[in-house]
């Protein structure tokens, strides 16, 4: 059900500082291509306040070429302006739209060359006391020499001077991360052989925070799977580097002259100066998995295909009361983010995730949109972009908020005078086919640039979502899914159901003796109290002698009127003659009542192609119970012949 906008405060996004204060630093380094759009988006919806560096080979506008494909600059997308360059043509890496092993955009660093990028200064304002966290999707080639020590990055003031770096440990297959305290370093590495030459994967290292010059723990992961690790300090610990200016900062090169240059491909490097918690790490791993078609150990989102709905993944999740991420940060959602509390009535009161990604559609609004099955008296506006939303776990009785951020989407502001609705389709993100539904919401609110829908998570199914709005009410048509007239002693019981999402305002029950002229005999509100929503009953206690024809006059919230089909019952001196079948649908046994019929009758069960499956003669007195368990699931007909009269009614076997 669509909900009219109210001037109330929505359940808002968490203050991004709650994420920034987590001890540690995250480095996310991708060596395959990124399909993500960066307009008002940062990975996972986690915000950008702690992003130090973001290099992305899929953002072609961030790559400056010297000639056809040689890269002279790889621009930083974090907003910090840490652009890495190379002024010598022979030492420039090469961009390729399908250069990674998986055929995606990447920068290739050739093993026989000295190709690298650098920046002359990283300022002392970069504090690493929050720690260092690193994820890397790399395709390494074999080391050029026995020395090895290929670097993804190495930032410092020369060899052994306040460095922090990640790459390959020597010429082994171990992933490596290290921080330096002035001129002292302590290496950490995986004890498992995680590097496979010529193959790409997601390498992760997360260093916990601490005072500069202290040893803190480093955890290593491969695509989300924890790896055994060790280090020069006797365990997987390294130094927290000081906040000082660094003048020797490389992508693809070591500060040690004897070490090998990097050989392989790089697609994305994402560096945070905070340690993400487990929940945030899982969201980021799913972001990388969707964008780069990588297999991860903790998958919470599966795109419809490897090339659809993989863009700008956002999510929220809960691992524990001390480890969660409850709201996507405004300014980093590309249009849609989520939020949830962690109380007893909230979705994220227990372990779970809600994750979404879009299909890279342009951030436009379709005015006067034709949305099949959705109506409004005035034109409907539809966001061109849709999101595939997937939920796992969580509190099944809880609530969650969808936040549509107009500023993140296209820089506009929503109107408080509009009516907004959350549009859903299980199978089609264009909403042109399949069944469109309006999600029933607890409340809808507008505040600033954000339209928020608070909904019961039980109403949120996996599928495609977007926002629509109009200056008048938005409704689904009334879809009548069943309507039957059931004979009772001296009365007619009318039962009908409407589809989920239908928004009826009023039902009028009309009766006729000739199926031409109808008169109203009663009405029911579309909001009639019912233990089963969408199901309605009405009893005509005074049917007319002879034929009684019934129909429903259905009025929606906009005043549009629809009529149902006609159902008929025949009464003789007030006693109905007909069939009563129950339960319907039936599984093992069907009970047949024949009120108004006396004597012996011939009964037949007929399938939908007219074949007679069973026949017999029975007394019409009392109730007849027929076993139907041997019938295949489907629709059948009961035909009763009584003299010259014939009665037929369908039933469903399931």
* E strands, 105-183, in order: 106-109, 117-119, 132-140, 151-156, 164-168, 175-181
Is the per-residue pLDDT at 533 higher than 80?
no
CA nearest neighbour of 349 among 314, 394, 384: 394
Instruction: Please indicate whether residue 47 or residue 515 has the higher confidence score (pLDDT).
Output: 47
pLDDT at position 37 is 39
What confidence tens digit (pLDDT) does each residue in 338-356 have? 999 999 999 999 999 999 9
What confidence category does residue 13 fall into, taking pLDDT thresholds of 50, 70 and 90? very low
Alpha-carbon 73 to chain mean position: 35
Please determine, for residue 3, whether its predicted confidence score (pLDDT) is greater than 60.
Answer: no
pLDDT digits (tens, 9 = 90+) for 469-478: 999 988 777 7
Judged against a pLDDT cut of 90, whether residue 634 lies above it is answered with no
More confident residue, 35 or 503: 503
117, 66 in Cβ contact below 8 A? no
Q: Mean pLDDT across the stretch 175-198?
A: 95
The predicted pLDDT at position 576 comes to 46
pLDDT at 574 > cutoff 60: no
Cis status, amide bond into 583, omega within 30 of 0: yes
Query: pLDDT for 57-69, tens place per residue?
Result: 988 999 999 999 9
Establish whether the linkage from the previous residue to 585 is cis, with ω within 30° of 0.
yes
From 263-272, 405-414, 614-623, the region with the lowest mean pLDDT: 614-623
Q: How far is CA 560 from CA 143, 470, 478, 641, in A?
A: 73, 17, 10, 42
For 147-161, 270-284, 639-653, which range has the lowest pLDDT when averaged over its residues?
639-653
pLDDT for 547? 85
| Chain mean position to CA 270 | 23
- Report residue 233's pLDDT band, with 50, 70 and 90 as the boundaries: confident
Asked whether the predicted pLDDT for residue 220 surpasses 50, the reply is yes
Write down the pTM of the prediction: 0.74
pLDDT over 90, % of the chain: 66
Q: What band does 489 get if pLDDT is binned at 50, 70 and 90? A: confident
C-beta neighbour count of 258 within 10 angstroms: 10
CA distances from 364 to 345, 361, 385, 409, 410 (A): 35, 8, 7, 8, 7
d(CA 579, CA 108): 78
Which residues does residue 185 pair with via DSSP β-bridges, in sequence order? 180
| Rounded distance between C-alpha atoms, residue 431 and residue 412, angstroms | 23
Q: Which of these, 160, 345, 169, 129, lies nearest to 260 by C-alpha position?
A: 169
Backbone phi, psi, residue 346, to 5°:
-105, 155
| Cα–Cα distance measured from residue 255 to residue 539, given in angstroms and rounded to the nearest whole number | 87
Tens-digit pLDDT profile for residues 366-404: 999 999 888 888 999 999 999 999 999 999 999 999 999
The whole-number pLDDT of residue 618 equals: 84
Domains and CATH numbers, the chain: 52-275 (2.60.120), 297-475 (no CATH), 477-575 (2.60.40.10), 578-654 (2.60.40.1930)
Whether the CB-CB separation of 272 and 133 falls below 8 Å is answered with: yes
What's the pLDDT score for residue 501? 63
3-class SS of residue 101: coil
Ranges 20-24, 110-114, 129-133, 595-599, most confident: 129-133
Q: Which has more confidence, 573 or 75?
A: 75
**Mean pLDDT over residues 509-533, rounded?**
79
Name beta bridge partners: 453.
Answer: 402, 444
What is the structure's pLDDT at 5? Answer: 33
Distance CA 236, CA 216 (A): 8
> What is the Cα gyration radius of the chain?
33
pLDDT at residue number 558: 65
CB 605 within 8 A of CB 612: yes
Range with lowest mean pLDDT among 30-39, 147-156, 184-193: 30-39
Q: Phi, psi (5° rounding) for residue 391?
A: -120, 150
- Asked whether the predicted pLDDT for residue 573 surpasses 60, the reply is no
pLDDT of residue 480: 82
φ/ψ (deg, to 5) at 459: -90, -5
* SS3 assignment, position 81: coil
Mean pLDDT in residue range 227-240: 93
**What is the reported pLDDT for 236?**
95
Distance CA 506, CA 508 (A): 7
The Cα 70–Cα 357 span in angstroms is 32
Give percent of the chain above pLDDT 70.
91
């Amino acid at each position: 059900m669509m909900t009219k906008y109210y001037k109330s405060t929505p359940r808002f996004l968490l203050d991004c500082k709650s994420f920034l204060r987590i001890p540690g630093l995250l480095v996310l380094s991708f060596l395959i291509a990124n399909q993500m759009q960066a307009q008002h988006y940062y990975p996972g919806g986690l915000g950008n306040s702690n992003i130090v560096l973001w290099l992305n080979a899929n953002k072609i506008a961030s790559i400056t070429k010297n000639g056809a494909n040689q890269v002279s600059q790889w621009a930083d997308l974090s907003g910090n302006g840490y652009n890495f360059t190379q002024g010598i043509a022979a030492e420039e890496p090469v961009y390729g739209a399908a250069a990674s092993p998986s055929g995606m955009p990447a920068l290739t660093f050739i093993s026989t060359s000295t190709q690298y990028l650098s920046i002359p200064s990283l300022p002392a304002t970069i504090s690493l006391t929050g720690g260092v966290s690193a994820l890397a999707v790399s395709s390494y080639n074999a080391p050029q020499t026995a020395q090895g020590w290929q670097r993804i990055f190495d930032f410092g003031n020369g060899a052994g001077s306040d460095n922090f770096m990640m790459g390959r440990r020597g010429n082994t297959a171990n992933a490596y991360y290290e921080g330096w305290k002035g001129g002292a370093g302590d290496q950490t590495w995986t004890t498992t052989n995680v590097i496979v030459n010529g193959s790409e994967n997601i390498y992760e290292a997360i260093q916990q925070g601490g005072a500069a010059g202290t040893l803190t723990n480093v955890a290593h992961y491969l695509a989300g799977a924890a790896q055994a690790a060790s280090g020069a300090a006797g365990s997987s610990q390294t130094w927290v580097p000081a906040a000082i200016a660094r003048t020797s900062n490389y992508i693809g090169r070591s500060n040690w002259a004897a070490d090998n240059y990097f050989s392989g491909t790089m697609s994305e490097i994402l560096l945070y100066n905070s340690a993400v918690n487990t929940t945030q790490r899982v969201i980021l791993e799913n972001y990388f998995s969707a964008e780069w078609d990588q297999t991860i150990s903790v998958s919470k989102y599966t795109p419809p295909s490897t090339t659809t709905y993989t863009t700008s993944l956002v999510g929220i999740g809960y691992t524990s009361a001390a480890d969660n991420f409850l709201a996507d940060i405004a300014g980093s959602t590309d249009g849609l983010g989520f939020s949830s509390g962690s109380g007893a009535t909230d979705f994220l009161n227990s372990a779970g995730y809600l994750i979404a990604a879009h299909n890279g559609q342009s951030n436009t609004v379709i005015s006067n949109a034709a949305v099949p099955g959705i109506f409004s008296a005035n034109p409907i506006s539809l966001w061109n972009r849709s999101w595939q939303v997937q939920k796992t776990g969580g509190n099944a009785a809880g609530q969650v908020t969808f936040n549509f951020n107009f500023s993140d989407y296209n820089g506009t502001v929503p109107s408080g005078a509009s009516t907004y609705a959350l549009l859903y389709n299980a199978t089609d993100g264009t909403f042109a086919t399949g069944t469109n539904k309006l999600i029933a919401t607890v409340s809808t609110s507008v505040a600033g640039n954000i339209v928020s829908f608070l909904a019961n998570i039980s109403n949120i199914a996996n599928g495609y979502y977007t926002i629509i709005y109009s200056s008048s009410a938005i409704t689904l048509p009334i879809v009548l899914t069943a309507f039957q007239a059931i004979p009772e002693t001296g009365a007619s019981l009318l039962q009908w159901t409407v589809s989920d999402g239908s928004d009826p305002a009023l039902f009028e029950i009309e009766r006729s003796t000739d199926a031409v002229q109808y008169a109203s005999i009663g009405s029911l509100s579309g909001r009639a109290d019912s233990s089963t929503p969408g199901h309605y009953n009405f009893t005509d206690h005074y049917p007319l002698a002879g034929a009684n024809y019934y129909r429903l006059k259905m009025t929606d919230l906009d005043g549009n009127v629809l009529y149902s089909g006609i159902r008929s019952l025949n009464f003789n001196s007030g006693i109905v003659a007909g069939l009563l079948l129950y339960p319907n649908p039936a599984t093992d046994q069907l009970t047949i009542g024949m009120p108004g019929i006396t004597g012996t009758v011939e009964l037949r069960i007929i399938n939908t192609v007219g074949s007679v499956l069973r026949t017999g003669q029975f007394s019409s007195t009392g109730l007849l119970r027929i076993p139907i368990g041997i019938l295949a699931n489907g629709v059948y007909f009961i035909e009763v012949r009584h003299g010259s009269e014939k009665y037929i009614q369908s039933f469903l076997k399931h």
